[in-house]
Amino acid sequence: MKVCIAEKPSVAKDIANVIGANQRRDGYYEGNGYQVTWTFGHFCTLKEPHDYTERWKSWRLEDLPMIPSSFGIKLIDNAGALKQFGVIENLVSQCDEVINCGDAGQEGELIQRWVLLKAKCNVPVKRLWISSLTEQAIREGFEKLKDSEIYNNLYAAGSARAIGDWLLGMNATRLFTKKFGQGKVVLSIGRVQTPTLALIVQRQKEINAFVSEEYWELKTIYRETEFTANIERLKSEEKAQKGLAYLLQHDFEITSFEKKEGKEGNPKLFDLTSLQVEANKKYGYSAEETLKHTQNLYEKKFITYPRVDTTYLSEDIYPKVEGILRELTYYAQFTAPLLAKPIPKSKNVFDDKKVTDHHAIIPTGVLPNHISQDEKRIYDLVARRFISVFYPECKVSNTTVLGKAGQVEFKATGKQILELGWRELYLNDKKEADPKKEEEEKVMPNFEVGERGPHEPRVHQGKTSPPKAYTEATLLRAMETAGRQVDDEEMRELLKDNGIGRPSTRANIIETLFKRRYIEKKKKNIFATQTGIDLIDTIQNELLKSAELTGNWERKLRLIEKGDYSMETFKQELIQMVVDLTQEVKSNRGRAISIAEEAPVEVLKEEKEKKPVKPKAQKEEINIEALTCPKCKEHLLKKGKTAYGCSNFQACGFKIPFEFLGKKLTDKHVYDLLSKGKTAKIKGLQIPGNPETTDARLVMNGDFNFEVG
């Protein structure tokens, strides 16, 4: 018997249908020599400090740094997860082979390896590695199963990342909390979150310190074309008026007229970050929202694997492109010209050297149906971008005109589109019309060198503008390039190895900063709160705040993935950093952090002091809709007036009724069911068939239903 382990019940069902495991059992499918079971996200996690020694249960400076001699894993404390793990453990103990069908990425590899490690798997393991969940992709994947060992480096990188985050997060958070938190607040420090916050704080300080200055410019209109004086901005109105008086005494003369034809290259295919950037600019979606909609489209088989960081396709995709384009019947007006001749094979699109585990995000050719408006928008972005890369380049005419009035030189520029090329796909969409942010089209008349005549000079008064606050789009770009301002796509591609975080984790990092109230959003702009600014000011160690140094850690993790760097070396480097940091902070006599009144108090599991301080923030009402579905990890929403349900309810089916067995469930009951798998004892439950009420707990079972326990 072969046991297949998927990462979600819905994916397990798709796989079971394809390979003929059609008999539903308790926690798995069976048939045709296969048993197909599933996890639902992280079943295992690294052990917490108190799991290593009772001494680390309390937060004390003298116990830092905490460096376990070896790192262990444990099952999460969730009744549903524990029951489903029991199913996996039993199946693995009796099978001949395991097929790892987890999400085909670093995090998916880590999740499955930890589960197999905890289940004491000692049979051969194969790996299903696919870029979409279509029936064809699953069939092809099973025909080309890989040896699990091929992905050992990927697992090593995932383990190194988890251990690195534990070492820095656990130690630095306790260190700064006990040293500067005044016993009132947990100061959360993270390998990725802290340098990201530092970027935002730095921009905030630049904005706060900015002093606007007035300036004056000389401009003129000649033959209905506006020219700007080619001199530095003037600092006084008096000088500007003198300049205007001078210009009024002279005709305008054309000294140079240059018209060059050029081409605007096609935009790149989407990786996850560029898709999140585009969706934020066009629709205002947060990075997390875009990831959620994209993941839904992937699981519904409409697009390929989304958590990617490449904008290229592997060359073996080329033969499939024509078929995908033919299936995109919603876009027939755009695909018809492409299908009338051979599809171009450009190195800007197909390059094996630029693709590692997965290629860029593209449509699968399966037409979407029964999807939300948000998912339609994301699908449209992906589909149009896919079609556009095979169109001709956009041909333009760039015009530069120089002139003078007396001795003052002027300049005007313009651009005219000669042939639309790929821009044809974006004609009706101003926000998307130019992914490269070129200036708008400005047609200029033809000028003759030496021509002259009257003109209309004027003084333009303006004010200098502060640096722009980050939006999620610009923050994602800054994380991708470790804080460097980079507009060129090719240069961004080169810097990706040194970015802060990974495409799949950046959305979560930003959401974590919002949740901890270190940052806030005003319209589309992101600002650091006073708490966030105070935290960064308290951290004197530049290692914790440096985007470039964090980017260097990311580069090393990628090298581990490729087998070019040792996981053990990376771990030892982080241990040394934590040791040095601890010594530095312990000897620091800096001030305690001043916490803003609205700042939340975060209490970590392992902080159980003998006399804990009960913070006000713990009395806040629980926000159920901030929690996630235990079955498929999507957000919970109110489903009418009767229940909370998964935002992906049509596919997932998970819900919690407001009233159960005659009792209204409180937010605390719902929270406990989702976080612990069981409630505290509830009085007065009305059990069917029992005339008397019962006091009992509600427990979530392995099928994500509720029963009396």
Cβ(111)–Cβ(41) below 8 Å = yes
Ranking 142-151, 441-450, 637-646 by mean pLDDT, the lowest is 637-646
- In angstroms, the Cα distances linking 566 to 177, 558, 560, 649 are 32, 11, 6, 43
The Cα–Cα gap between 231 and 328 comes to 53
DSSP letter at 331 equals G
Q: With bands split at pLDDT 50, 70 and 90, how would you rate the model's confidence at 618?
A: very low
Instruction: Reply yes or no on whether the pLDDT at 402 is more than 70.
Output: yes
Q: Which residue has the tokens 């069981």?
A: 678
What is the model's pTM? 0.77
Separation between Cα atoms, residue 49 and residue 231, nearest integer Å: 64
Which of 170-184, 361-375, 542-556, 646-660 shows the lowest mean pLDDT across its residues? 646-660
- Least confident window among 102-116, 216-230, 324-338, 580-594: 580-594
Residue 236's pLDDT is 94
CA torsion sign for 471, 474, 477, 483 is negative
Q: What DSSP string describes 25-67? A: ETTEEEETTEEEEE--S-SEEEPPHHHH-GGGGS--GGG-S--
Whole-number pLDDT of residue 648: 64
Secondary structure letter of residue 612 according to DSSP:
-
Q: Does the pLDDT of residue 434 top 70, yes or no?
A: no
By CB atoms closer than 10 A (0-12, 13-18, 19+), residue 86 is middle
Query: In the structure encoding, which two tokens stand for residue 622, read together?
Result: 């629980």
Q: What are phi and psi of 8, to 5 degrees?
A: -145, 155
The residue among 113 and 656 whose pLDDT is bigger is: 113
Structure token digits, residue 348: 């800007």
Report the alpha-carbon angle 417-420-425, nearest 5.
Answer: 135
**Cα 251–Cα 255–Cα 258 angle in degrees, nearest 5:** 135
What's the Cα-to-Cα distance from 65 to each of 169, 185, 186, 223, 569, rounded to whole Å? 11, 20, 17, 73, 19
3-state SS, 276-310, equals HHHHHHHHCCCHHHHHHHHHHHHHCCCECCCCCCC
Catalytic residue positions, numbered: 305
Q: Token pair for residue 314?
A: 């592997």
Q: How confident is the model at residue 616 (pLDDT cuts 50, 70, 90)?
A: very low
Spatial distance between the Cα atoms of 110 and 400, rounded to a whole number of angstroms: 56
The Cα angle at residue 563 between residues 559 and 566, in degrees rounded to 5: 75
Establish whether the linkage from the previous residue to 630 is cis, with ω within 30° of 0: no
Integer CA distances (angstroms), 547 to 163, 213, 474, 550, 594, in order: 20, 31, 15, 5, 25
Confidence of residue 550 (pLDDT cuts 50, 70, 90): confident
**Kind and range of the H or E run holding 273:** helix 272-283
Contact 210, 202 (CB under 8 A): no
Rounded distance between C-alpha atoms, residue 436 and residue 88, angstroms: 49
Structural domains of the chain ordered from first start = 2-144 (3.40.50.140), 159-208+471-586 (1.10.460.10), 214-266+394-463 (2.70.20.10), 272-388 (1.10.290.10), 624-708 (no CATH)
Q: For a pLDDT cut of 90, what percent of the chain falls above it?
A: 65
Tell me the average pLDDT of the chain: 87
pLDDT tens for each residue of 90-148: 999 999 999 999 998 888 999 999 999 999 999 999 999 999 999 999 999 999 999 99
Residues 52 and 60: their CA atoms lie apart, in Å, by: 15
Query: In terms of Cα–Cα distance, which of 412, 551, 430 is closest to 480?
Result: 551
Q: 284-327 pLDDT, tens per residue?
A: 999 999 999 999 999 999 999 999 989 999 999 999 999 999 99
The answer to whether 476 and 80 are in contact (CB under 8 A) is no
**pLDDT for the residue numbered 505:** 87
| H helix runs in 464-546, sequence order | 472-480, 489-495, 503-515, 530-538, 542-545
Cα dist from 184 to 602, 613, 640, whole Å: 10, 7, 39
Residue 622's pLDDT is what? 55
Helices (H), 150-189: 152-180
Alpha-carbon distances of 19 from 14, 103, 135, 139, rounded to whole Å: 9, 18, 10, 8
List, in sequence order, every residue forming a beta bridge with 645; answer none if it has no partner: 637, 655
Q: Which helix (H) or strand (E) holds 333?
A: helix 332-339
Backbone angles phi, psi at 472, to 5 degrees: -65, -35
Residue 330 has pLDDT above 90, yes or no: yes
* Angstrom distance (rounded) from CA 164 to CA 190: 10
Is residue 588 within 8 Å of 540, Cβ to Cβ?
Answer: yes
